[in-house]
Homo-oligomer: A and B are copies of this chain.
Amino acid sequence: MATLSDPTVTPVLGDNKAAASPFIKCLVRLIRAQDSYGSWKEKCDTDLLACFTVPEEKRRAIPIIGDPDPDVLWRLDVFYRAVGIAIEERSGLLISRTMEINHHGGFGRVLFTTRRLVVLSKTLRDVHRFGFSTLRKLAKTGAKLVNDAARVIEAYPDVARA
């Protein structure tokens, strides 16, 4: 079992280092698992993750009315699945994810739980515009969520294993 007291976040300095972080590795693994026809085999990890990065001005231009783009919903799903798996790897506990999205409003909530403990709860806003300005920011956001969850598991060890 992984220990919870791992040195907090791998310092993410550039895109190369970001791509090597445990969270990003989870994310890449999940994306590659969906490549049933091997069409992304030749692509490197950074290329695969490119769809997660959206320049700020482009992101702000995405309309927030109507249903969000299915590709955005796919990315949102994969991102938060990777968060769940990274928490599992870090804690050795089984984590359940429950995500509720109001498509029209573009808001919702995602909860990560283990047994009786809420290890992470996040309000989702601007679902239509889900994306990160850089790969580094993607890695940092994921790592922060995983760290927050690990801290909660450490604070309530009995409830997490109840």
Contact = CB atoms under 8 A, between A and B. Distances in A.
Interface of A: 96, 98-100, 109, 111, 113, 115-118, 121, 152, 156, 159, 162
Contacts of A109: 96, 98
6 contacts: A96-B109, A98-B109, A99-B100, A116-B118, A117-B118, A159-B159
Given A98-B100, A116-B117, 17 more contacts: A98-B98, A98-B99, A98-B109, A99-B100, A100-B100, A111-B111, A111-B113, A113-B113, A113-B118, A115-B118, A116-B118, A116-B156, A117-B117, A117-B118, A117-B159, A156-B159, A156-B162
Nearest to A162: B156
